[in-house]
Amino acid sequence: MEFPQNIRYLAIEGVIGVGKSTLAKIVAERCGGRLMLEQYEKNPFLDKFYQDRRGYAFQTQLFFLLSRHKQFAEQMNQQDLFFPLTVTDHTFDKDRIFASATLDEAELSLYTRVADVLARDVARPDFIVYLQASVEVLMQRIRKRARKMERDIDPDYLRQLIELYNEHFFHYAECPVLIVNTNNIDFVKNGSDLENLLERIASVPAGLTLFTPQSNEQ
């Protein structure tokens, strides 16, 4: 699996449970790239956030912002001559999407001021794959992977995140974005689904492409 030389940073994005990490691992292995995964489990507020979103939103979001900045600054900004491509299962901008869903107006204003400063240090993706799925499918996948912190996740929260993600990526202009509806594909168990998806990813870095995009209706 090969990319043009100008594609050095590929990001896989999408809502909770859509399969970002799984696909990022596959792509990195196929292309011999460096893999950088989101370190969500290190956030000490995340468990409490899922139990009380309003009460722990700001602490959770600020911790994610600072830890993701540290991760990107330390890993992404260090040129690695041994890897032609870096693959991540998130972007730095992801944090703003979640912040807009969880913070009140005053908190979001303060968060945005901090995020704007930190964003100056962060490398931008050369290409993004945005994975979509319906709320029903996401809930099935979340239940199947059975992470304790996600067992009480609210479908309405997922619905809100889907709307915010769609808004963000349907108007994203900083690099090419491939939009993939994963409702009816299984790139883990179905080899043909995987090969078709990898072929699509490798063939479209020159421009914006939509691949079976789903509607905003969930």
Q: Assign domain 9-211 one CATH number from 1.20.1420.20, 3.40.50.300, 3.30.470.10, 3.10.180.10.
A: 3.40.50.300
**Residue 154 designated active-site:** no
Residue 22: the pLDDT is: 94
The one-digit pLDDT tens for each residue of the chain (218 residues) are 777 777 889 999 999 999 999 999 999 999 888 999 998 888 999 989 988 989 999 999 999 999 999 988 887 766 565 677 899 999 999 999 999 999 999 999 999 999 999 999 888 899 999 999 999 999 999 999 888 888 889 999 999 999 999 999 988 888 889 999 999 998 888 999 999 988 888 886 555 444 433 433 33
Question: What is the crossing angle of helices 53-71 and 105-119, to 10°?
Answer: 0
Q: Where are the domains of the chain?
A: 9-211
Structure-block tokens of residue 144: 């199947």
Catalytic residue among 47, 52, 80, 89: 89
Q: Mind giving me the DSSP string for 105-159?
A: HHHHHHHHHHHHHHHTTSPPPSEEEEEE--HHHHHHHHHHHT-GGGTT--HHHHH
Locate tokens 């893999």: which residue? Answer: 35
Say how many CA atoms lie within 13 Å of 189 toward its Cβ: 4
